[in-house]
Structure formats: C-alpha cells, structure tokens
Chains A and B, each alone.
Chain A
Amino acid sequence: MFQVPTIADLNLGLTLPALSLALGACVLLLLDLFVPRERKEITAWLAMAGIAVSFVLNLAGFNESGTAFLGTFAADQFTGFLNIVILITAFLGVLLSLDYLKRAKIERGEYYVLLLLSAAGMMFMSSANDLIVVFIALELLSIPLYIMATFRAPDLKSEESGMKYFILGAFAGAFFVYGAALVYGATGTTNLPEIFAAVNGIIAAGGSQMFLLLMGTGLILVGLGFKVAVVPFHMWTPDVYEGAPTPVTAFMSVGAKAGGFAGLLRIMVVALPVFVLKDGQTAAAWQQTFWLVAAATLILGNIVAIAQTNVKRMLAYSSIAHAGYIMMAVAAAGTAGVANEATRAALLYLMAYMFTNLGAFGIALAIEKDDGSDTGVDNFIGLAKSKPALAAMMTVFMLSLTGIPLTGGFVGKWFVFKSALDAGLVPLAIIGVLTSVISAFYYVRIIVNMYLKDGEGDPAAGATRYVNWAIYVAFAGTLLMGIFPWIATNLSDTVVLAVEMFVR
C-alpha cells in the first residue's frame, strides 16, 4: 500500500525560504485583487515584505544543511549564500520598479507577482539536487522574465526583447532537456549525488556510456550557457537588455546569472567532478571546454563593450564579460581539490557583481526619460555638476566593475583569479587580468563624461526616492564588501559542494 510520508520525512524546515517566497507570490496574486488601480505601490510593499520574510527565514536556517523532499532538494551554505544574493536582487528590483512602472504607465500588480515567482525559481535552482528540479526551476526562473521583458508592450523594442528572449530561452531549454536525457541514459538516475556515484563505474567500464555522458554534459553547458550569456551563446543579450524595461534588465542581469551559475555549479561540481576520459586524470573532462568558453567570453565581451554608445547595451556586454569571470571560477572547479575554493570564488564574485551592477543600472534608470529614451553614454556628460552624489556613486560602481581595490569588484576578482591560479589555469588568469585592463576603457569613459566634459548635465528625473534608496543600498554593499571583505567571506566559509575524492 501507499507509504504516506510524514511531514518530518519531507524535512520541510530546510525548504522554508524558497517555499515561503513561492507562497508569498501566490498570496500576493490574491491580495493584489483588492488593491485599487491607482495604489499599486501597496502591492510592491507587500512583495518586499514577502522577500523580507524569506530573507529572515534564510538567515535563521543559514548554517543548517541537509536534503529535503527525499533527496531532490539540497540545503547547504551554497544555497543560503545564493539565496541572499537572489533575495537582495529581488528586493532592489522591486525598489527600482516602483516609480519606473508609474513613469512608464505600465503599473500592474502582476509585475510583482511575476518577479517573486522568478525569484522563487532562482531559489529552487540554487538548491536543486535533481536534474528534473533543475529543469523545472530553470523554466520557472525564465518564463516570468520573458513576460517582464515584454511589460512595456505595445512598445516595439520591449516586445522584440521579450520575443528574442523567449525564442532563445526555449531553444536553450530544449538543449538542456536533451543533455539531461543523455546523462540519465548513461547513469540511469537524475539525482545529482547518484549520478556522481554512477560516473566512476562508467569510467572504469570505459563503454559507450562515456560518449553519452560527454555529449550530455556538452548540451547541458549549451542550455545553461544561453541563460548566463557566455560566448558563443551570448548574441541575444544586448538586444534583450536594451529593449526590456530597465528595472527588469537589472533584475535579470543578476538573477538569471545567479540561477544559471547555481545550476551549472551544482551539476558540474556535485554530479560530474570525477568525469574524466581516462583513469588518473586530475581535472574533469569538461574543464578544457569551460576554459575555452571563459576565455572567449572575456575577450569578446570586453572588446565589443568598448564600441557601445548606449549604456544599457554597454552594461549588457559588460555582463557578458562578467559571466566570463564567473565561468573562469567554474572552470577552475574542474580541478580536483580546488572545487570548493573555486565555488566560493564564484559565489563571492556573484555577490560583488550583484551590488555593483544593480547600482549601475539604477543610475542608468535615473537618467532615463519616461519613454525609455536617453540612455546613451553621452547622457552622462556633466552629471557631476547637476547631480554630484549620483556621479560620485556611479564612479564607485564603474571602478568596482573594473576591479579597483577597496571596491567589491576587486574582492570578487581576487578570489576568482586565485582559484584559477590554484587550479593551474595560468593562461586563463592572465587573459582575465588583461581583459580587466581593457575593460577600464569603457568604464572610465563614463567617469570622464561625468567629470571632465562640459555639458548641461542631466536632471536625472528618474532619481526618485525609492530609486535613490536602491542606489544607496547598492553603493553601501559595494563599499562594504570592498573594505570589509570578511563579512562576505565568512558567510561562505563552509561552502562544500564537492565530495573530496580519495579514489580517482
């Protein structure tokens, strides 16, 4: 007969942060019906309350680890850290949207529901311990984003942005499923730790299942590579980022990356770290490919960004370049013994990127006009005169994106480069340093425009109260992480994804 599981079997306590956010989204959907049309900011505040509840629950259970739902959900510090990143992103995303939606006359309660659902998808992604959960969380992350990108409809740019994102997202999803199917075919299970256990046997047997595993890993990389926008799967990024409403761009540029890299790290580090083509190798078979992808992403993202004249497009290429740095850490995780250090580096980088990037998009949003125009690099000319505080904060964000010491970006890069060196990927680390220098060209250009060029100075009409709050939070986070890095590093001190191998 049915073996009805008890609540204790399901281990619900560990899943509370993600579940409470999902539940919050559903409750918000109902409450929104009672919010009058002209007072939709109430919905936004309720959404922020939901995020805050989830955040508190996440901190309360931060150091607990274990699995829930009988092995399909893993909660550990990796999850906890990523949840912090995701929840802050969602919180700042709501703050940035509040006035923007009103200005653009697209204020609808559903927006916040979709934002919460997408954030819940990211959180499920960060704790997914099964290929099926990774897939379904990936889709829960993406589908609300397609809709949010189209939120300015019937504005053509916004519709095109949503359409492109949708077609490439669906295409990438299909690649992911086929890859997952092949991995299932090779190992007979979709549970990540069980795949890990099965891989050793496959290598020992040396049969044709190796090829299935190889192709499956490749297709999963393609699927998630589209989501996190690494070369050669990046071409949708600039158009989608430019066309989508700016707060949506800010939210997706950080959130989708956090979710995508969470899935990539979990699959590669938990399930496939010992996947080598012949016995005795110390680096996983996928490391070479990841190495190449990271190098190509760094070079292309940073060089093409120089030519951009629109800030949103420039930040899009910059986000591609930053995906390259995180990819560098993922590649480093392929070396035996460096996996956990590299995972930590990727997490810290994501947190630094989150604060800095949300701040930069916040300022781009502040100088944007109501109809979504005037986001050129030239619109920053003279900003230091008209809005000195905003200009000063933008300077810090640009320096942090470049990776100058005393900013969060430097801390992130430090850990990433260190893990790459420890993994023996010296050429990749050199490419990383060189491209960081190149990136200074386009980041410093904005600073030069603000301070050294004469001009009217944009009135920054978009810098309303809530947008300012969001920018202050991002600014504080960037500096705090740069000056007191141990706050963030202590949060990730026991991140252990990989089972350290004794038999290889």
Chain B
Amino acid sequence: MLELNVQTLAFFVFALFVLGGGLGVITTRNLVHGTLYLILSLFGVAGFFVLLSAPFLAVVQVLVYIGAIAILIVFAVMLTRSMTSLHEVVNRQWVLSTIVAVLLFVMLTVTIILPVWGQDGSLAGQPVSEVVATTTDLGKALVDGNQYVLPFEVASLLLTAAMIGAIVIARDDE
C-alpha cells in the first residue's frame, strides 16, 4: 500500500512533528517549551498542506500561525512572567477530564479512524479528485462574488470587533 519515496518519507517526518508537538504541548512543565512544541506542531501541519497540494494555505499557515499567533503567545508568556516551571501539570478535575477525553477518543476511533477505510479500503470508494483547487480558485471564490463574499465581509467585522476588544481590555483607565 505504501511505497517508500520522498513523499511518504516527508509524511512520516511531518506526522512526527505534528503528534510530537501536540504531545509536548499537553505534557510540558515549561511554558516556553510549550510554545516551541506548538510551533513544531503547526509547522508539521503546514508541511501536510504542501503534501495535500495546498501551497498557498501552507504559506499562510506559517505566516499567520507561526509568524503571528505563536509570537503573540510568546509575548503573553513573557508579560505574565509564567515561563518558570509549573508546579502542577494537571488541574483538579483531571480524572474526570481524562475519562471524557478517552470517551471522545473511543468515539472518534469508532466513527472516523476505523470507518474511513471503509469496506473497500477507501472513503466509501470516493476516488481522490483529479482537480486541485488552485490559489486562483481561492481568490475568485473569496471576492469574485462567486459565493463567499459574505463570510469574507463578516470576517472583516470579526477582526474589527477583536481589535476593539483587545484595546478595550488592555487599556488602562486614565
């Protein structure tokens, strides 16, 4: 089923990044390390985007997630002076939480991970599309009035709201 070539190799490296980074975030005792693990995981996802023929999104992923979001998180870590090692890793209801997480895991395994292979070894025989959405398609869909002008506009409102909000919360009363 899997032949060994550059793509499969890259897949395994990125999978290691994504899952290793994810595990790191939820187990680390050091917030700065946590941020670095998060960046590793986000980078792995960007790699997957390349493998899945979405180069534009891969670049946006690196720019927005790693370039902006992760850096903001680093700033928050610094501003809250909480980079020193955390005494406790887990919160008080961790037993209950773990049970919930395990239940979720079982449910997702039963309904997604197992059945996606279907009876005939693929997503119910759905063949992988020959066409790939290009960056041009994406741009057209966003502003060409093709379909997604509305969410595009609403997203701009959302960013306005977030900007006002961050300023309102962070501003000291004069």
A-side interface residues toward B, CB under 8 Å?
2-5, 9-10, 15, 22, 25-26, 29, 68-73, 108, 110, 113-114, 117-118, 120-121, 124, 130, 132-133, 136-137, 139-140, 143-144, 146-147, 150-151, 153, 162, 182, 185, 205, 207-209, 211-212, 214-215, 218
Contact = CB atoms under 8 A, between A and B. Distances in A.
Interface in B83-123: 107-108, 110-112, 115-119, 123
Nearest to B147: A70
Nearest to B168: A110
Given A69-B145, A69-B147, 16 more contacts: A4-B144, A22-B153, A26-B160, A68-B150, A70-B147, A72-B151, A114-B168, A137-B154, A140-B157, A140-B158, A144-B165, A147-B161, A162-B169, A209-B123, A212-B115, A215-B111
Contact of A2 (B119, B125, B144): B144
Interface string B155-174: 10110111011011100000
Given A205-B124, A214-B111, A215-B108, A69 B160 contact: no
A29 B125 contact: no
B91 to A, nearest CB: 12
Nearest to A23: B157
B165 A10 contact: no
A70 B140 CA distance: 14
B119 to A, nearest CB: 7
Residue in B107, B108, B112, B165 with the greatest tally of chain A CB atoms within 10 Å: B165
B151 A132 contact: yes
B145 A70 contact: yes
Given A132-B148, A137-B154, A140-B157, A208 B165 contact: no
A4 B145 contact: yes
B157 A211 contact: no
Contacts, number: 119
B146 interface: yes
Interface of B: 107-108, 110-112, 115-119, 123-126, 140, 144-151, 153-155, 157-158, 160-162, 164-165, 167-169
Contacts of B164: 29, 110, 113-114, 147
Contacts of B151: 72, 130, 132-133, 136
Q: Which of A5, A130, A143, A150 has the most CB of B within 10 A?
A: A143
A187 B146 CA distance: 20
B111 A212 contact: yes
A143 B150 contact: no
Contact of B157 (A22, A182, A205): A22
A2 B146 CA distance: 10
A143 B155 CA distance: 12
Contacts of A139: 158
Contacts of A120: 157
* CB-CB nearest 4 A-B residue pairs: A207-B124, A5-B145, A147-B165, A208-B115
A140 B124 contact: no
Main secondary structure of the interface of A (DSSP, over half): helix
Given A70-B145, A207-B118, A208-B123, A114 B161 contact: yes
13 contacts: A2-B144, A26-B157, A72-B150, A110-B164, A113-B164, A121-B154, A133-B151, A144-B165, A147-B161, A147-B169, A208-B115, A209-B123, A212-B116
B143 to A, nearest CB: 10
Q: Which of B147, B167, B169 has the most CB of A within 10 A?
A: B147
A205 to B, nearest CB: 6
A171 to B, nearest CB: 12
A229 B74 CA distance: 33
Contacts of A3: 144, 146
A62 B54 CA distance: 42
Contacts of A218: 107
A4 to B, nearest CB: 7
A209 B169 CA distance: 44
Contacts of B124: 205, 207-209
B125 A207 contact: yes
Contact of B147 (A22, A72, A143, A151): A72
Interface core residue of B107, B123, B145 (most chain A CB under 10 Å): B145
Nearest to A68: B150
Given A2-B144, A207-B125, A143 B162 contact: yes
Contacts of A185: 123
B108 to A, nearest CB: 7
A249 B108 CA distance: 35
Contacts of A110: 164, 167-168
Contacts of B110: 211
Contacts of A133: 150-151, 154
Nearest to B112: A215
A114 B108 CA distance: 37
